[in-house]
A and B are shown apart, each in its own frame.
Chain A
Amino acid sequence: QQQVKQSPQSLIVQKGGISIINCAYENTAFDYFPWYQQFPGKGPALLIAIRPDVSEKKEGRFTISFNKSAKQFSLHIMDSQPGDSATYFCAAVKRATSGTYKYIFGTGTRLKVLA
């Protein structure tokens, strides 16, 4: 069964620091790699995403780095703020035989940013 392995399980960062979350996948046929942010009692919200033909994408304080040969991608949160405290999920998206897309999620990283 295809998996996306996410680490660390939890992360504590000081305000203003850099938060780094890593994911690795096992299949080369993925088309899209999104990151989702989930607050307690809420559904996951799309944060940023990257396609495999790009090595890095930056949106504000959030950056995805993608290493196709290593089958790894990571989320960097610069200048981390207490409001960033949430659970972050990476996902790998592939086209299924039916023609639709299938999302495979990592197990999540619980980030706490200390004030």
Chain B
Amino acid sequence: DAGVTQSPTHLIKTRGQQVTLRCSPKSGHDTVSWYQQALGQGPQFIFQYYEEEERQRGNFPDRFSGHQFPNYSSELNVNALLLGDSALYLCASSEGWEGQPQHFGDGTRLSIL
């Protein structure tokens, strides 16, 4: 039974570019949340998707957008990349509207040059 899978594992971009990160939830899970984890910090909530709609959003600018597909997989898009966007981006999935407990993938390490 595959857990949460994320791709790519590592990514290097330059300032101003755009990036798309992908997430496949754990089998049976329909809710996907995205987090940004800076080095030495806890995960910061970006947004959450359920039934292909963004259900809640953290304190992140509109440069961060997302999408959920009918198969429950999800994408995180970041436009106009800044140096400060360098971080580990984590995807977490859960089952049902209740949303707990969340299971995390191993993340995508995004480096901005």
Contacts and interface: CB of A to CB of B under 8 A. Distances in A.
A104 interface: yes
A62 interface: no
A49 interface: yes
Contacts of A96: 55-56
Nearest to A41: B106
Interface stretch (A53-61, A63-71, A76-84, A105-113): A105-113
Interface stretch (B12-20, B40-48, B69-77, B78-86): B40-48
A102 B45 contact: yes
Interface of B: 4, 31, 33, 40-45, 48, 50, 55-56, 59, 90, 92, 94, 97-107
A102 B104 CA distance: 14
A108 B104 contact: no
Interface in A79-115: 89, 93, 96-108
- Top 6 A-B residue pairs of the complex, sorted by shortest distance between their CB atoms: A43-B104, A105-B42, A101-B99, A98-B55, A43-B106, A100-B55
A100 B56 contact: yes
B42 A106 contact: yes
Interface of A: 1, 6, 32, 34, 36, 41-46, 49, 89, 93, 96-108
Contacts of B104: 36, 43-45
A44 B43 contact: yes
Given A1-B59, A100-B55, A106-B42, A46 B102 contact: yes
B1 to A, nearest CB: 15
Contact of A49 (B33, B94, B101): B101
